[in-house]
Chain A
Amino acid sequence: MFEHVESTSEDVLVSRSARGDEQAFGVLVERYKGMLYSMATRLMKDRGRAEDAAQESFIKAWAALPGFKGESKFSSWLYRICYNTCISELRKKRPEVELDEAMGVQVEGPVQEFRNRDIQATIQDEVSRLPDDYRAALTLYHFNGLSYEEIAKLTHKPMGTVKAHIHRARAVLKTRLVERVGWDNLKEVMWQ
């Protein structure tokens, strides 16, 4: 029975969850737990708090599902809940903890991507040091794959501001990457 539910389409799972089907909701949790936890970790820079925020987001989603009209994608709706939960947690101003380790970096992707584990770890580390607004916009754009427009709606900021934050964030990352790794080393990695 569980295998059957696992292969069910997302619309059906969402509709069944909205009617109180915990088994269907469990499949949605399995599908999205990685995305929500990753997003929360990148926004909050603390794995423990990120896990709490991801859990809280799922519970809020469960409570709000009967009112989900399907006007946006379920994933976008879920990201919005997670983003708002994380921002609300961040506003509580607990002491910040630096991201531990290299966040389980996996070496895969296209040829022009940095495959070097140290460089990937450096990028992750520098992302975690970005100002909150920059880091949120960069995460939502690159990791969650949202458009400028979607991010603007989600963060209640003008689209131009969102784009400027992402541009500045990338520029900062590039500068710091060159400072920390050095051009010669980067060149070696990029053209190896």
Chain B
Amino acid sequence: MNCEEIRRSVQDYVTRELSIEDRRLFDAHLVECAECQRELALMMALVSTLDHQPVLEPRPGFGEKVLASLPRQRSFVLSPWWSLALAPLLAGIVWLFRVPIARGLEGLLGRVAVSHVTAPAVTLPQAGIAAALIVLVGLGVAFSAGAYVWQVYLRD
């Protein structure tokens, strides 16, 4: 490399973007050229100074000002995880109404000449468990939704 080529590649040398071969040629020239050593030292100092520019701080109270300017109403976006809360609720409903569902299915299958399916009977404890499950899931969803609405829309 000559001095002109060194000047063209000095920035890539400092930011380590030169290939190994070019870096070797660069180093070889540097050993015997005081002017290019000076050029390199200046660019290294400049790049390092630019890399370490100070972080400026806004005036005190900036954070509070930002929070005070946030719009109180934000579009209500449900997290996809909320749909999971509906899964046990739907399962509970299906289970509670399994007898009429199964009878309906039985009738449907009978019409297409499949006769070995019979509707199961449901006991009182089973119906009680299903009802309790639905009530619990419903209360959970209502409580979470209430807490969310309070946090997003009502809390100061």
A109 touches B49 (CB 8 A): yes
Interchain CB contact (< 8 A) of B41 among A66, A108, A112: A112
Say yes or no: is B25 at the interface (Cβ < 8 Å to chain A). Answer: no
**A to B contact number (C-beta, < 8 Å):** 126
Quote the shortest CB–CB distance from B62 to chain A (angstroms): 6
B48 touches A110 (CB 8 A): yes
List chain B residues, Cβ under 8 A from A55.
62, 65-66, 69
A109 to B56, CA, bound (A): 16
Interchain CB contact (< 8 A) of A170 among B46, B70, B152: B46
The stretch of B71-79, B98-106, B132-140 that contacts the partner chain: B71-79
Say yes or no: is A30 at the interface (Cβ < 8 Å to chain B). Answer: yes
List chain A residues, Cβ under 8 A from B38.
183, 187
Quote the shortest CB–CB distance from A108 to chain B (angstroms): 7
Interchain CB contact (< 8 A) of A112 among B48, B57, B77: B48
Contact with A along B46-62 (1 / 0, CB 8 A): 11111111111111001
A170 touches B62 (CB 8 A): no
Q: Is the interface of B mostly helix, strand, loop or mixed?
A: helix
A109 touches B52 (CB 8 A): yes
A127 to B50, CA, bound (A): 9
Instruction: Scan residues 6-65 of chain A and give those whose CB is less than 8 A from a CB of chain B.
Output: 18-22, 25-26, 29-30, 33-35, 37-38, 41-42, 51, 54-55, 58-59, 62-63
B54 touches A113 (CB 8 A): no
B45 touches A29 (CB 8 A): no
- Chain A interface: which size bin? 35 or more
Say yes or no: is A177 at the interface (Cβ < 8 Å to chain B). Answer: yes
Say yes or no: is A154 at the interface (Cβ < 8 Å to chain B). Answer: no
B54 touches A33 (CB 8 A): no
A35 to B58, CA, bound (A): 10
Known: A20-B74, A55-B62, A114-B45. A41 touches B56 (CB 8 A): yes
- Starting from the known contacts A25-B67, A29-B66, A59-B69, 14 additional A-B residue pairs (CB-CB under 8 Å) come to A54-B58, A54-B62, A55-B65, A55-B69, A62-B70, A62-B71, A63-B74, A103-B56, A106-B54, A114-B48, A170-B43, A173-B46, A174-B42, A190-B45
